[in-house]
Amino acid sequence: MLSAKERIPDIIKILRKHYPATCTALHFETPLQILVATILSAQCTDVRVNMITPSLFKKYPTAREFSRARQEDLEQEIRSTGFFRNKSKNIIAAAQKMCADFDGKVPDTMEDLIKLPGVARKTANIVLSSGYKKAEGIAVDTHVKRLSERLGLSTKTNPEKIEQDLLTLVPKKDWLDFNYLLVNHGRAICIARTPKCRECPVQLLCPATVKFLKG
């Protein structure tokens, strides 16, 4: 089989054809909303997050309102997303940091975003790509981690190390959409337990295909 560097252009081309809607499934209108939604989405489905954010964003339209929220109130409002105590604490603290250091606005650089409580590279990459259409990296979530291994793009397990491998393989013009391409494919075909390899449009470019078909 060809090397990962040689296969990646065709992988991207095929995935773009099958998943033309390269965007997050989270509903948002502003960088603040995608930041909060992304924090809420940790260990939670996008569908569940989308169910609670309309009322949440109506009550807290700006970072100023979030910064003044009572943690007990916010916990109850986001309870169904899981890990609600830590998430509410981080959302309030991030909003306070934005108000204190960034004039109440969501930063638009990786350097500043990761200064916010509860924001690591994955969240920052999603905010930059979805909220600002800026590509400073590639968000590595559970889908990207799984597919990167199966497609032979990285042997690492640490998300930041996987990201560094991907950044050397994926052309920069594709960084903006690469996460969403793998997420869409991971949800539709390359699912965690029993991937649908026989239906997979990139099966001939995937080292894992033989293993799963034999299994």
Q: Which of 122, 145, 174, 177 is catalytic?
A: 122
Asked if residue 38 lies in contact with residue 106, where contact means CB atoms within 8 angstroms, the answer is: no
Q: Which residue of the set 87, 141, 145, 174 is catalytic? A: 141
Q: Is 112 a catalytic residue?
A: no
DSSP 12-59: HHHHHHH----S-SS--SSHHHHHHHHHHTTTS-HHHHHHHHHHHHHH
Locate 93 and state its tokens: 């603290």
DSSP 3-state of 215: coil
Residues with Cβ < 8 Å from 99, sequence gap 6 or more? 63, 64, 67
Does 141 qualify as catalytic in the annotation?
A: yes
DSSP state of 131: I
Q: At what angle do helices 4-18 and 175-188 cross, to 10 degrees?
A: 70
- List, by residue number, the catalytic residues: 122, 141
